[in-house]
A and B are shown apart, each in its own frame.
Chain A
Amino acid sequence: MAAYIARRLVWVVFLLFAITLITFILFSVLPAGDPAVARAGRQPSPELIESIRHQFGLDKPKPVQFINYIGDILPFVGHNGVYFGFSYTNNAEVLPQILDRLPTTIFLTAGAVVLWLAIGIPIGVISAVKTGSWLDRLSMGVALIFISAPVYFLGLVALYLFDDKIGKFPVLPGNSAYGQAHSFPEKAEALIMPWCVLAASFAAIYARFLRGNLIDTLQEDYIRTARAKGLSERRVVFRHGVRAAITPIVTLLGLDIGILLGGAILTETVFNIPGIGRYAYNAINVSDLPVIQGTVLFGAFFIVMMSLIVDILYAFIDPRVRY
């Protein structure tokens, strides 16, 4: 087990390096505009641009720039104690900026995860047990709608309907409410609408996924054995059916959490929530490479770590899995 985890961690480091390289290359080859020009303000003198370029190290060859950046993000190396470099736009250190926004993104993700599991799992189980019933048809129909509706559409519809300033039924704090909230209850209230919008499509995906899995599982021979033993139908479905059918959901859940921790870009943008996702979105808009690199690296880190955690969890969930 320890050897397996060590092997995987080596792989994680390699993966993160590759992702950093790809992001760097993409940024270099795409016409992103000259960061030095953007930084210099209106009508800069060529000397000013040149000095900014020198300050950012942009006058060095690309490979050197890349190596410098790698040096910036390496633990214990850094850049005089600064990691991930400085933003091109406001010279702020990238790492503290990301860490500042991380709790917001975690809060948004955690609430949505709880919500979509609480909705998706019961619906999936009921639909699988009552396949073909009107309840099954209705919930799968609704699920299809929520899967098909993108967050930026659903989010705008939600704001249009429920935003307490512009909504038809002004009941919930909407756009920008999170940034203005001070206390924890206020922040939670501000996130109700984003949580629902973010959870909607995930709940739909999980319900459909679990339904399909459970329908297949309930055809298994060991379910027939459980019934032949004289177990109650409830026990057959939950202890024997759901226990097996829900296992693959752990994989899905791990990756989804990883992706969202890297920034729920659409949700954070639509609702103007100051998390990592919106930070990345703004950075992309102004070609702020250090911020883009930092947020991409953070996102990738969460995804690969979550997938590692999921694989380790499997050894505990499924006794057949051994490392």
Chain B
Amino acid sequence: MDTPKAPLLEVENLQVHFETDDGLVKAVDGISYSVERGQTFGIVGESGSGKSVSSLTVMGLTRSRNARISGSVRFDGKDLLGASEEDMRQVRGNDIAMIFQDPLSSLHPFYKVGKQIAEAVRSHRDVSKAQAWDRAVEMLGLVGIPEPRRRADSYPHEFSGGMRQRAMIAMALANDPKLLIADEPTTALDVTVQAQILELIEHLQDEFDTAVVVITHDLGVVAEMADDIAVMYAGRIVEKADTNTIFAAPEHPYTWGLLSSIPRLDSPRDEDLVPIAGRPPSLITLPSGCSFHPRCPYVREAHKRIDPKLEPVPGHPDHEVACLLPPETRRRLWAELQRGVKPDAARQGVMREEEAA
């Protein structure tokens, strides 16, 4: 088709607030992103940054009665936030499927794995039990479980961690969804299994032409897979760009922090990782101004009052960042950090340069 198609998933200014006894929790505070067909979108952030809540909301699974949701979520041209519960049920597991962090607790302990997958098939397809079971066996084979017909008859506790996540993936993809949301898909798994699961998701994504949203706290997870990455902090997206840009020319101090807290094989062995100081803020009483300012090594007085907007980086319309530091300063700081300079030293160096200029 020649006409440019709308993105598969379009999230616009999504807000998810929870009214609690302690106050309004702004779990997601106005985020926008879009995912193209067949593409992979990574959402990265610490726990409590709103990354899981935002995707559960896309699925219509933010069930809490005190949730206040606004903005818009369009999937394949369809509005999801305004959709009826029955319409959402049709979408879940059929058009959009989801896998979760802990595959043991995410599978029902009392039902056989094959039955749980067949149940997903039968809730969307008008097929017999035997056909649904065959589909379950087929999917288990596709995700690399040996002897799928025999293993379909097993219970989740008889599977290893990696096999369980494979079974979850088999369940998620059984109805050939257009979008797969993977919420920390490898966090609960052994390191050796993590890579296998990520590879499997990538492989199946090609085979099924599924778009994937990967939610993770680990930039390493999305480095290989994602086409675009959004970095979330305190319910907002603070930086969004294609994956190469995020790793090669990140603009936000929080992204720098995330990057420098990943161990690298090519750095000297005695070099310490640089953690991000402080803790994620309370989502009830967000810091004034830039919500990252209490933890930012490069904070300036004005940043404590002014709330930064997510704006394109000059000259790079697809690279957006919400930071009040002048672009030249950011570039210089990142250059310093890449040379291995510690954040404090980098700040002092750059500030001296600025004063001299």
Contacts and interface: CB of A to CB of B under 8 A. Distances in A.
Given A229-B93, A229-B120, A230-B94, A240 B106 contact: no
28 contacts: A220-B105, A221-B100, A222-B105, A224-B61, A224-B106, A225-B107, A225-B108, A225-B168, A228-B92, A228-B93, A228-B98, A229-B92, A229-B119, A229-B123, A230-B89, A230-B90, A230-B92, A230-B123, A231-B119, A231-B120, A231-B123, A232-B89, A244-B108, A244-B109, A318-B110, A319-B110, A319-B155, A320-B109
Interface string B39-78: 0000000000000000000010101000000000000000
A220 B156 CA distance: 15
B171 interface: yes
Contacts of B107: 222, 225
B157 A320 contact: yes
Contact of A319 (B98, B120, B157): B157
Nearest to A232: B89
Interface string A179-195: 00000000000000000
Contacts of B110: 243-244, 247, 317-319
Given A224-B106, A244-B109, A319-B110, 5 more contacts: A225-B168, A229-B92, A229-B119, A243-B108, A320-B157
A317 B110 CA distance: 8
B105 A221 contact: yes
Contacts of B102: 221
Contacts of B106: 221-222, 224-225
Going nearest first, the 5 A-B pairs with the smallest beta carbon separation are A230-B93, A230-B92, A221-B105, A229-B93, A229-B120
Given A243-B110, A318-B110, A319-B110, A227 B92 contact: yes
A228 B108 contact: no
Contacts of B318: none
B109 A319 contact: yes
Interface string A203-242: 0000000000000000011101111111111010000100
A230 B95 CA distance: 10
B177 to A, nearest CB: 10
- By size class, the interface of chain A is 20 to 34
A247 B108 CA distance: 14
Contacts of A233: 85, 89
B232 to A, nearest CB: 21
A318 to B, nearest CB: 7
B97 interface: yes
A129 to B, nearest CB: 12
B274 interface: no
Nearest to B117: A229
Interface of B: 59, 61, 63, 85, 89-94, 97-98, 100, 102, 105-110, 119-120, 123-124, 155, 157, 168, 171
B331 to A, nearest CB: 42
Contacts of A229: 92-93, 97, 119-120, 123, 171
Interface string A239-264: 01001100100000000000000000
A127 B59 CA distance: 26
Nearest to A240: B108
B154 to A, nearest CB: 9
A226 B119 CA distance: 9
Contact of A318 (B85, B89, B109, B119): B109
B316 to A, nearest CB: 36
A317 to B, nearest CB: 8
B73 to A, nearest CB: 16
A243 B119 CA distance: 15
Which of B89, B108, B109, B168 counts the most chain A CB atoms within 10 A?
Answer: B108
B186 to A, nearest CB: 16
A112 B107 CA distance: 36
A226 B108 contact: yes
Contacts of B168: 225
Contacts of A247: 110
B105 A228 contact: no
Nearest to B94: A230
Contacts of B97: 228-229
A222 B108 contact: yes
A225 B94 CA distance: 13
Which of A222, A240, A317 counts the most chain B CB atoms within 10 A?
Answer: A222
Contacts of B91: 230
Contacts of B90: 230
B212 to A, nearest CB: 15
Which of B120, B155, B157 counts the most chain A CB atoms within 10 A?
Answer: B120
